[in-house]
Amino acid sequence: MASREFVDTTIAVRAPATSANLGPGFDALGLALSWHDGVEVRVTGSELAVEVTGEGAESVVRDETHLVVRSMLAAFDAIGVGQPAGLVVRCHNRIPHGRGLGSSAAAIVTGIVAARALVSDGPERLDEAAALRLAAELEGHPDNVAACLLGGLTVAWADGDGARALTVSPDVRVVAMVPPHSVSTEAARGLLPELVPHADAARNAGRAALLVAALTSYARPDVLLAATDDRLHQTYRAPAMPDSYSLVQRLRADGIAAIISGAGPTVVALLPADADPEAVRGRTPDGWRCLAPGVDARGAHLRE
């Protein structure tokens, strides 16, 4: 029999994919996309059962090390309740794994949101700010989890109190070109140098600020290309994803604001709201998927 601290019902959570960095906003900017994973969870009297369908179903673990489960257990600990005797966790995955579209962030956020909802007063004991701090701690950086949790375009940062974020409202069309192969986030991060030229860092700071302005006011849609210019991570990561980097270079040469999504290898193009995404769709390499998801302004939430 479950503890009276836990609710006796099935909790369903929906969490969006995310594109992080957006060019110059390394580990700071994130954009939630209308492309979702779903999780259904229930506290039971004994044992853990994990079911997975969709993306990654053939390879992900189905025990307490599953990322959704690990995140739930971390949230229960943060809330201050004991681990339940048993859990049933059903994951319905649509976000591709290892493509730079925030699948791990979605797993972490769904676990935290589900755990809060399973505790009778969970949202009061673990508020949004605390949930973000925990999610960033589990993920290792705040950009994807902030956008996944809060929705829309987020600017995230960390200080002595952990991760924080603010949201802004973008008006943008997104085209995502997803290759058939994955790239390890750890491998992509391993290519980054410990030091970069001061001029490159200064340039990125200015472009990141410009990008926030470009995504919140389309009075100057022509600045998107300049605003997504990056010198801190994409060039260094090119050896891990040469086809993606080459596609970015070709699109940018034609005036399209293309970037590597997160750690890659997905390529995302950011277009003015009145632009036709077919112009980009026709440039997608053979064997790649091309999608045009909207921006998810809501973020992770409980499904009715």
Task: Write out pLDDT tens, residues 191-220.
Answer: 999 999 999 999 999 999 999 988 886 556
pLDDT in tens, 135-172: 999 999 999 999 999 999 999 999 888 999 999 888 88
Taking Cα atoms as reference points, which of 44, 91, 38 lies closest to residue 66? 91
> Exposed, middle or buried, 124 (CB in 10 Å: 0-12/13-18/19+)?
exposed
Identify the pLDDT of residue 175: 96
Indicate if the pLDDT at residue 3 is higher than 60. Answer: no
CB 106 within 8 A of CB 37: yes
Q: What percent of the chain has pLDDT above 90? A: 86
CB burial of residue 236 (10 Å; 0-12, 13-18, 19+): middle
List, in order of start, the domains of the chain with CATH numbers: 11-168+296-302 (3.30.230.10), 173-291 (3.30.70.890)
More confident site: 195 or 274: 195
- pLDDT at position 1 is 39
pTM over 0.85: yes
- Of the candidates 62, 35, 270, which has an alpha carbon nearest to the alpha carbon of residue 171? 270
pLDDT-based confidence at residue 279 (cuts at 50, 70, 90): confident
Q: The tokens of 1 are what?
A: 């029999």
* Residue 128, C-beta contacts closer than 8 angstroms, at least 6 positions apart: 149, 150
CA 17, 304, 293: angle at the middle one, nearest 5? 25
pLDDT surpasses 70 at 89? yes
